[in-house]
């Protein structure tokens, strides 16, 4: 039996799809406040050949707890499993690792958006007595003005090439015209030009826009790890050799401080 | 307060992942090295909280560079669990850290990155917490140390969940927790003479055994070059976003 932890979201439905290919699946969940160590203790107590969850914040956290309790290896963000050989994601998706998982039960999470989602079917609610370990006490809503980076249809992003915090004026203008969100690279957040909540990448936000416009961004693999969920990428860069051209669908070679305002002006013109 | 921060030496890959001939590791001959942004934030937070700050890395002798960088930012001393450059899986890494801690006075806080930059196993901190019988909270973007306790916050898609744990505790953090400072020149000079303890742990049999690395397909597109704003807006219209 494969035990699969589900949360009723899209990623869980993908994890169930992955688990079904391994054998009969028992989908399980918990009620009440999230308490990772207690939930994991209950999961670890199940009879199972494998314990599976989505490679989400909670999925990875719970499986790591289960692995610690059972003293077994745990493979995070797996894209394929064949016998005891797993293929898993490294470097935020820029590299894959093939590894042998020497453990029983097999403990793994499923890399997001690498498997089709399926109907989860019946979900059993497991009991997880409060063991006094840390749990989610309250939820504070964040008053975010504007479009969220993660869900925006268009993201206009600036990198070192923008040159300063004030330089983002042209980026904000274009994002505003397109009803999109502003993003940036890590160089920009490290310099304090934009908050980290705007950062796209491996250690920032992973976007899913229809169009990503990367202005003055070189295209480091850690940046692309957050941008590659976009359907199309347009790069605006003064360097015709910039690595981002190998990840982009379209490119304009030129100074972003001229190209970006010209695009805004053209948009206004065609809209009348 | 006594705070330990665990950091991992990783290569700074540029625009492309290039594998060594044996496919077992990245080709790093021409690359610099760093630690994960998450771990940089962990060190910055520890220095801001104050008290004695110790940084620990398991890695080759060269990982001393990363420990010295963190001492330049304000950590007081380092512990290097020196390996011969072979890969250690997350279980062995956690076990070696736990062994090293037995030789130390207990820490009030042990900080980790939520996941490492390269292998991203999402687990070393949680394993260490279980082995030491300490509470653990992960994925944090805010930490407030109070009398004998810590209150922390974690992002959950547009909101924050609040957790509390008694000290001592293990916490794993994410970039965005703070804005790490750059090391100053005097900081770098001071770092050179700060104490560094070197221990050689024994590598156990690997239970998540890496066989090979693979560069995923899809690197190496050929962008279509657009000439000016009119063409760009035409593309936007064809994508339905203008
Ligand atoms: C573990 C790890 C995690 C990381 N996570 C992230 C992450 O989440 N997100 C992220 O972004 N980075 C991340 N990084 C950093 C990443 O490796 C790069 O350093 C960073 O993305 C580079 O930012 P950039 O492209 O803005 O700057 P640069 O690499 O300096 O590129 C600037 C670009 O701007 C162009 N340019 C300059 N002037 C102009 C102009 N006037 N007009 C047009 N183009 C111009 C240049 O040709 C160049 O291509 C991470 C690094 C590590 C090691
Ligand atoms: C000498 C050596 C060579 C390696 N070679 C390769 C290689 O060629 N290719 C490759 O992809 N990986 C390599 N690794 C990575 C190795 O697989 C990891 O160290 C191990 O799997 C730890 O798990 P993780 O990175 O998944 O940690 P995670 O659980 O993702 O890490 C969470 C946190 O734990 C801490 N942590 C993790 N590892 C260490 C460490 N070593 N020292 C101190 N703190 C740590 C950090 O705070 C980190 O943010 C190598 C490691 C070592 C030590």
Does B220 contact A199 at a Cβ distance shorter than 8 Å?
Answer: no
Cα gap B235→B239, rounded to integer Å: 6
Taking CB atoms and an 8 Å cut-off, how many pairs form between chains A and B? 250
Question: Which of B39, B126, B235 to mutate to test binding with chain A, by most A CBs within 10 Å of its CB?
Answer: B126
Q: Output the pLDDT for position B219.
A: 60
Q: Report CA A138 to chain centroid distance, whole Å.
A: 24
* Closest to A226 measured CA to CA, from A247, A202, A208, A210: A202
B176 contact residues in A (CB cutoff 8 A)? 196-197, 199, 204
Tell me the Cα Rg of chain A.
Answer: 22
* Closest to A61 measured CA to CA, from A115, A134, A131: A134
Does B210 contact A259 at a Cβ distance shorter than 8 Å?
Answer: no
Q: Give the pLDDT band (50/70/90) at residue B119.
A: confident
User: What is chain B's length?
Assistant: 242
Q: Is the model's pLDDT at A130 over the cut of 80? A: yes
Q: In this structure, what CATH number is given to the domain that contains residue B109?
A: 3.40.50.620
Number of domains forming the structure of chain B: 1
DSSP H helical segments within B52-199, as ranges?
64-73, 90-102, 124-132, 185-192
Distance from CA of A254 to the nearest CA of B (A): 9
The whole model's pTM is what? 0.90
Condensed to tens digits (0 to 9), the pLDDT of residues A25-56 reads 999 999 999 999 999 999 999 999 999 999 99
Domain carrying residue B60 = 2-238
- Please tell me which of the candidates A136, A186, A204 has its beta carbon nearest to residue B163: A136
Condensed to tens digits (0 to 9), the pLDDT of residues A182-225 reads 999 999 999 999 999 999 999 999 999 999 999 999 999 999 99
Cα gap A87→A96, rounded to integer Å: 7
**First-last CA distance in chain A:** 63
Identify which ligand lies nearest to the alpha carbon of A261. 1
> Taking a C-beta distance cutoff of 8 angstroms, is the pair B129, B123 a contact?
no
Residue with tokens 């909101």: B159
CB atoms within 10 A of CB A249: 18
Pick the range with the lowest mean pLDDT from A3-12, A75-84, A142-151: A142-151
Q: Give the pLDDT band (50/70/90) at residue A77.
A: very high
Q: Is the model's pLDDT at A143 over the cut of 80? A: no
Q: Output the pLDDT for position B218.
A: 64
Q: Output the pLDDT for position B235.
A: 97
Q: Output the pLDDT for position B127.
A: 97
CB atoms within 10 A of CB A165: 12
Q: Is B91 on the interface with A (CB under 8 A)?
A: yes
B109 contact residues in A (CB cutoff 8 A)? none
| Helix orientation angle between B185-192 and B64-73, rounded to the nearest 10 degrees | 130
Distance from CA of B12 to the nearest CA of A (A): 10
Q: Output the pLDDT for position A90.
A: 87
DSSP letter at B230?
H
Helix (H, G, I), strand (E, B) or coil at A15: helix
Identify which ligand lies nearest to the alpha carbon of A163. 1
Cα gap B165→B222, rounded to integer Å: 51
Q: Give the pLDDT band (50/70/90) at residue B29.
A: confident
DSSP H helical segments within chain A, as ranges?
10-20, 36-44, 57-70, 169-177, 186-190, 221-227, 256-271
* Closest to B181 measured CA to CA, from B46, B67, B79: B46
Condensed to tens digits (0 to 9), the pLDDT of residues B87-100 reads 899 999 999 999 99
- What percent of chain B is modeled with pLDDT above 90? 76
Distance from CA of A168 to the nearest CA of B (A): 19
User: Three-state SS across B53-83?
Assistant: EEEEEEECHHHHHHHHHHHHHCCCEEEEEEC
Greater pLDDT, A147 or A220? A220
Cα torsion angle, B35, B36, B42, B47, sign: positive
Q: Is the CB of A264 under 6 A from ligand 1?
A: no
Averaged pLDDT score across all residues of chain A: 95
Does B122 contact A76 at a Cβ distance shorter than 8 Å?
Answer: yes
Identify which ligand lies nearest to the alpha carbon of A77. 2
Mean pLDDT of B155-160: 87
Q: Output the pLDDT for position A144.
A: 63
Q: Which domains does chain A have, with CATH numbers?
A: 2-126 (3.40.50.620), 154-271 (3.40.50.1220)
């Amino acid at each position: 039996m494969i035990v699969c932890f589900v949360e009723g979201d899209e990623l869980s439905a993908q994890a169930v799809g992955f688990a079904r290919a391994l054998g009969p699946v028992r989908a399980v969940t918990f009620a009440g406040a999230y308490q990772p160590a207690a939930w994991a203790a209950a999961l670890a107590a199940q009879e199972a050949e494998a314990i599976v969850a989505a490679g989400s914040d909670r999925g990875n956290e719970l499986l790591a707890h289960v692995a610690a309790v059972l003293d077994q290896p745990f493979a995070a963000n797996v894209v394929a499993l064949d016998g005891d050989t797993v293929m898993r994601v490294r470097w935020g998706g820029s590299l894959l690792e093939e590894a042998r998982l020497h453990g029983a039960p097999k403990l793994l999470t499923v890399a997001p958006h690498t498997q089709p989602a399926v109907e989860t079917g019946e979900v059993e609610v497991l009991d997880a007595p409060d063991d006094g370990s840390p749990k989610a006490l309250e939820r504070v809503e964040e008053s975010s003005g504007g479009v969220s980076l993660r869900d925006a249809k268009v993201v206009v992003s600036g990198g070192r090439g923008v040159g300063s915090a004030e330089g983002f004026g042209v980026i904000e203008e274009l994002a505003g015209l397109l009803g999109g969100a502003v993003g940036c690279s890590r160089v920009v957040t490290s310099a304090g030009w934009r908050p980290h909540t705007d950062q796209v990448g491996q250690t920032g936000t992973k976007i899913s826009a229809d169009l990503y416009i990367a202005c003055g961004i070189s295209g480091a693999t850690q940046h692309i790890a957050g941008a590659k969920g976009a359907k199309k990428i347009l790069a605006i860069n003064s360097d015709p050799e910039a690595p981002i051209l190998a990840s982009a669908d379209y490119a304009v070679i030129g100074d972003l401080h001229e190209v970006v305002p010209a695009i805004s002006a053209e948009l206004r013109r065609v809209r009348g | 307060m006594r705070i330990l921060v665990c950091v991992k030496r990783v290569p700074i890959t540029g625009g492309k992942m290039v594998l060594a001939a044996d496919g077992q590791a990245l080709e790093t001959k021409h690359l610099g090295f760093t630690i994960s942004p998450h771990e940089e934030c962990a060190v910055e937070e520890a220095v801001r909280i104050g008290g004695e700050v110790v940084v620990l890395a398991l890695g080759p002798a060269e990982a001393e560079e990363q420990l010295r960088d963190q001492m330049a930012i304000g950590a007081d001393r380092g512990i290097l669990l020196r390996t011969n450059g072979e890969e250690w899986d997350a279980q062995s890494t956690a076990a070696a850290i736990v062994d090293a801690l037995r030789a130390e006075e207990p820490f009030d806080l042990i900080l980790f990155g939520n996941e490492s930059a390269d292998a991203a196993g999402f687990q070393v901190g949680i394993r260490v917490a279980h082995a030491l019988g300490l509470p653990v909270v992960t994925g944090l973007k805010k930490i407030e140390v109070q009398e004998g306790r810590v209150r922390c916050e974690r992002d959950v898609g547009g909101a924050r969940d609040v957790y509390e744990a008694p000290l001592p505790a293990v916490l794993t953090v994410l970039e965005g927790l703070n804005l790490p400072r750059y090391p100053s020149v005097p900081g770098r000079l001071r770092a050179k003479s700060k104490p560094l303890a070197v221990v050689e742990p024994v590598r156990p049999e690997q239970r998540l055994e890496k066989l090979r690395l693979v560069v995923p397909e899809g690197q190496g597109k050929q962008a279509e070059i657009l000439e000016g704003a009119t063409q760009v807006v035409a593309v936007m219209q064809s994508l339905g976003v203008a």
